[in-house]
Amino acid sequence: MYVQTAIIRVMMKIITTSLGGLITLFLLLVATPVLANHSWGNYHWGRTANPFTLKLGDNLSPNWDTQLIGASNDWSLSGALDTLIVPGSTNPKNCRAVSGRVEVCNSKYGNNGWLGVASIWASGEHITQGTVKLNDSYFNTTKYNTPAWKNLVMCQEIGHTFGLNHQDEDFNNANLGTCMDYTSNPSTNQHPNQHDYDMLETIYSHLDSGTTVSQTSLSNRQEVDHSSPSTWGKQIRTSSDGHGALYERNLGNGNKIFTFVIWAN
């Protein structure tokens, strides 16, 4: 988000007391937009070239295909990465992680409060694998079985697996026009916005000496039981309604699992 307004107010006070060179400084500051950062830490996929291609494993029932295709196309507009939908490699109910890619699943995961979760495994600062779960226990209800809600949650949870955080975690303020925004009305929050693409460019502005992308072995790492937040580790971010938005589980030796959650209202 742009934060020019605060800068303008401060600089105007200075200019009223000291002109000359300060005017030039003021003009430089207001001409350059300062963007809020919505990465989560320095976590990113290891790769040796840009753009890189990240595989999305399709473990979805047909009624979710439109949302997966739409999210894949949207995120592939980024100059930093492309996504490629490939056949899934896991049982949707368990949604086990596969090294080097993201598995996307839907199932009736129960009336546990969440619409969607994304879990991301990291070794050091490098993402190594991810899963996205979409909870049909809610999406089969009249309120949530709409293209807008399904588009938002699919887009947001996949976005987390790239290293993106939420742009905003207040359900009741004005929409930001991005799927990375919490909302009670998803009508204008179904796709990434330019700030999301700019953030990805920043996250992936450097190259790595090795890659964590495109491996295909079934993970041996500890899986996440999403039936209860008690298994997700330490809560490290909270949304405006008091629910946990991000959890961190430390596996030791520099390995962690991060779990992002979007809750049903």
Where along the chain do its domains lie?
1-34, 44-263
- 241 burial class (0-12, 13-18, 19+ CB within 10 angstroms)? middle
Q: Pick the closest to residue 229 from 259, 189, 198 (CA basis).
A: 259
Other residues' Cβ atoms within 10 Å of the Cβ of residue 219: 18
Question: What are the tokens at 179?
Answer: 């799927």
Q: Please, which residues bridge with residue 121 across strands?
A: 129, 257
Q: Pick the closest to residue 190 from 40, 108, 75 (CA basis).
A: 75
Helix (H) or strand (E) run with residue 199 in it: helix 194-203
Residue matched to tokens 């040796």: 48
Report pLDDT for 21. 43
d(CA 4, CA 2): 6
Q: Which residues contact 62 (CB under 8 A, 6 or more apart)?
A: none
Ranges of residues in the chain with a pLDDT under 50 are: 1-35
Q: Which residues contact 48 (CB under 8 A, 6 or more apart)?
A: 207, 208, 209, 210, 211
Report pLDDT for 35. 43
Report pLDDT for 216. 62
Residue matched to tokens 């996250």: 203
Q: Which residues contact 6 (CB under 8 A, 6 or more apart)?
A: none
d(CA 85, CA 73): 10
Is 44-263 a CATH 3.40.390.10 domain?
yes
DSSP 8-class letter at 221: S
